Amino acid sequence: MTELPPTVLAELPAVPESIGPMRRVARAVAERCGAPDQVASDIALAVSEAATNVVVHAYRDEPGTLALAAQTVDHEMLFRVIDDGEGLSPRADSPGMGVGLPLIARLAGRFEVRPGPSGRGTELLMSFPLV
């Protein structure tokens, strides 16, 4: 297993076109750190769902950013999807089906929704076992 210190992997505009690159970066890092194929697939899907939530829910009136950070700790990969938007709240006009967060919770070994590190926005923390 390759150790990964806390690292920001990507910071992109919170637009639909950023979701694919986020997913690919997450999968590539997971594979480089020794994640089995199924775990790497789960990571890619969970990061994609979390990034989609940011694009759909975090910013209402002005565009913002979407960040992906990762690290390994004790045979576990931690991924954080971070925004500095309005926080996680339901939208009556949401185009989604509301399955993203439950899917992430099912895929990840641990899943937490936290306030963003700057005190604004949201951080979605997901952990995945590497063994």
pLDDT digits (tens, 9 = 90+) for 12-33: 999 999 999 999 999 999 999 9
Query: In the chain, what are the domain boundaries?
Result: 7-129
| Other CB atoms within 10 A of residue 92 CB | 4
pTM: 0.89
Residue showing tokens 């954080």: 80
Q: What pLDDT score does 86 carry?
A: 84
Place of tokens 């997450």: 26
Q: How far is CA 62 from CA 7, 15, 82, in A?
A: 27, 11, 16
Q: What is the CATH number of domain 7-129?
A: 3.30.565.10
